[in-house]
Structures are given as structure tokens and as C-alpha cells.
Amino acid sequence: REFLLIRQLANIPNELAAEFFERVKALAKEFEAADEKSAAEGDTRQTYGLLIGFYPTFYFSEDQNTGES
């Protein structure tokens, strides 16, 4: 079995964030659909969890971290 946990921060424009948001929602729907499909087909199944967080956050800029103006 594999386990994946990633934390990533990115400074991106709001338009790109909106695109990522839609793709993340689509991935979650695909995951749910896979569960429904395998249940309908009677496949041998293993339960997997999917936890996604995608949100705006606040961090100081480099200038504020170093005390520079």
C-alpha cells in the first residue's frame, strides 16, 4: 500500500487558482464515481480515503520576513 501526503504553497493569480479549484473538484468527483462504479460491478474493493484542501492562505513576503523594505 502507498500513502501520499503533500503540502505545497504557491503564489498564483486568482484566475489560475480558479482553474485549479475546478480541476480539484473534478478529481474528487472522479474518485466518487470510481467507488460507485466498482460497487455496481461487484469488484473486490479496498477502502481508500481522499482528503483535499485548497484554499487561499496568508504568509509574509520575503521583504517582511527579512525586515527589508
Residues 42-66 pLDDT 10s: 777 788 999 999 999 876 565 555 5
Q: State the pLDDT at residue 50.
A: 93
Residue with grid cell 513576503, as numbered in its chain = 61
Dihedral sign of CA atoms 30, 33, 38, 41 in order: negative
User: Alpha-carbon distance 12 to 21, whole Å?
Assistant: 12
Across the chain, what does the average pLDDT equal? Answer: 84
Percent of the chain having pLDDT more than 90? Answer: 54
User: What is the signed CA dihedral for 63, 64, 65, 69, rounded to 10 degrees?
Assistant: 50
Percent share of the chain, pLDDT over 70: 83
